[in-house]
Amino acid sequence: MSALALSFAVIFAAEFGDKSQLMALAFAARHGLRTVLGAILLATALVHIVSVALGVVLGATLPQRPIGFVAGLAFLGFGVWTLRGDSLDDDDEARAQRTGRSAFWLVFGSFLLAELGDKTMLATIALATDHGWFGTWLGSTLGMVAADGIAIAAGAATARIIPPHVIQRTAAALFLAFGVWLCVEAVIA
């Protein structure tokens, strides 16, 4: 249960301001909320099960202390990455604007490719090295879908109430704090 809660919180925070969240907004404007969220759920579930598998293998084969320290450094990097922000490039914009009968598969494929090597995938790998695989997978998947769902459903209203830079800085601060905690825990363990 703690793996689920932790993974949900970390990935939920990480997804705010991420490129895939911007893609979700663009796709939802064109293809509808249910289609986009369904495709995001399937793509995220697949990417995160691979991420969890990698994390479990690394956690079982490598000593915990160095893994904890590297995970802490990774989270510090994610904090900096989040502060830097993401934006859609021309290819992402073009994918989001395509129409056709297979909107679900278009969104699914775009998210699958966008998430490979993304900070949420890397964060899921790091979390799975030291936490239960199922809770990490379920929490990270639900955290990402929840963040994208909120962005889609309330994106315009949220931007008027809470400036995007506040959301971005809050997510970065969470990553930085978690990174420091992991590094300190690895050093004193």
**pLDDT tens per residue across all 189 residues of the chain:** 788 999 999 899 888 777 777 778 777 777 778 888 999 999 999 999 999 999 999 888 877 677 677 777 876 876 777 677 656 566 655 655 555 558 898 889 888 887 877 888 888 998 998 888 999 999 999 999 999 888 777 654 555 676 767 766 776 777 688 778 878 877 886
Using the 8-state DSSP alphabet, how is residue 135 labeled? H
pLDDT at 121: 87
Instruction: Supply the pTM of this predicted model.
Output: 0.67
131-164 core/surface letters (b: 16 or more CB in 10 A; e: else): bbbebbbbbbbbbbbebbbbbbeebeeeeeeeee
Distance separating alpha carbons of residues 112 and 108, to the nearest angstrom: 6
Residue owning tokens 């909320």: 33
> In Å, what is the CA distance from 24 to each residue of 42, 90, 97?
14, 15, 11
